[in-house]
Structure 1
């Protein structure tokens, strides 16, 4: 569980840098303007790798019994999360309105999964991302962070359609990627 917790903390701290413009600028200056994107991307992949390895190595430790309706709420909240992910990715005008679509996606995703899972690894992973996302919105708002002013016309509808499509893909790949089936038909 320590590896999982470290992976979540590493990823959260790395992404909170983006919520503080002065820290982000110093980081960009230190690694170089052109290298910033690739370095940030590689560091993010390392964080995700640590999370996946930590998750797979974690034993099941019961903490609480999730509500009976939690699994169904998770389906809906995760769908909403993927729509917010679509808003982030497709960069329509809704991205300007929402300001932090990826953080809201993490909030919906984490909340849904906390309603469906009651084990310690889930609390570390989803609870950690929930705390991170709320902090990102608070710190980003306090620092006046805004999304890129570039708006792609007509991409609001694509945001929703793309989010729904990604949700559908993830429901199919969840077992292969995460090791847990989304739907149990038996």
Structure 2
């Protein structure tokens, strides 16, 4: 469990640096843009690797609560919405223009439905940490009015929706191969 926790601290910790604008600005000015982005990427990658390895090695028990059947039932729909939001976050979409922070909302939806559909300590730790990150970062971004100005286009919305649906369906199809749990009855 220690590897998982270390990975979460590194990955989510570095992603919370922009929330601490003073720290972020100091690091950015002392390291320069390239080194700051390089450090950010390196710490993120190391954290992500430790999360994957730590989660795989962590015991499945204890269970903190019984999985919520409703969360299991709605997970496929929530994941399609989540993937659409994640895709829209990096495009000039009307979705992004309206929602403002689709990536954080998508991560929050992903984390919530996965946490409620599992019940294991390791799953609650993993998805609870990502949910907490999404909430903290969303509150910070909203209070800082951290929204880039752009002109949305419908073609980006179409790409985000279609891309989000396709990727979500692919992930659900191979979920058991990737994560050891069959997410949909038609999955492999």
- Counterpart CA distance in 1 for 2:110 and 2:146 is 23
- Counterpart CA distance in 1 for 2:98 and 2:34 is 29
State the partner residue of 1:24. 24
Secondary structure of the 1:51 match is: helix
* Structure 1: stretches of 5+ with no match in the other structure: none
Cα-to-partner distance string for 1:127-151 (whole Å, 9 max, x where unaligned): 11111100111122222222x3344
TM-score, normalised by the number of residues in structure 2: 0.87
Q: How many residues align?
A: 185
Cα-to-partner distance string for 1:134-183 (whole Å, 9 max, x where unaligned): 0111122222222x334463312211111111112212332333232323
Cα-to-partner distance string for 1:99-132 (whole Å, 9 max, x where unaligned): 2211101110011112210100010001111111
- Counterpart CA distance in 2 for 1:66 and 1:173 is 21
Hey, which bits of structure 1, 4+ residues long, moved more than 4 A? none
State the partner residue of 2:173. 172
- Counterpart CA distance in 2 for 1:151 and 1:34 is 28
State the partner residue of 2:82. 81
* Structure 2: stretches of 5+ with no match in the other structure: none
State the partner residue of 1:183. 184
Asked whether the 8 Å contact 1:9–1:128 carries over to 2, the reply is no
Pair 1:42–1:91, CA change in 2 (3 A): farther
State the partner residue of 1:124. 125
- Counterpart CA distance in 2 for 1:151 and 1:17 is 28
Write the mapping of 1:20-169 to structure 2, written as runs, cut at 5 A.
20-61=20-61, 62-146=63-147, 148-151=148-151, 153=153, 154-169=155-170
TM-score, normalised by the number of residues in structure 1: 0.88
- Counterpart CA distance in 2 for 1:145 and 1:171 is 32
Asked whether the 8 Å contact 1:19–1:145 carries over to 2, the reply is no
Secondary structure of the 2:162 match is: helix
Pair 1:129–1:160, CA change in 2 (3 A): same
Asked whether the 8 Å contact 1:77–1:111 carries over to 2, the reply is no
Considering Cα pairs closer than 8 Å and 6+ residues apart, tell me whether 1 or 2 has the greater RCO.
1
RMSD: 2.1
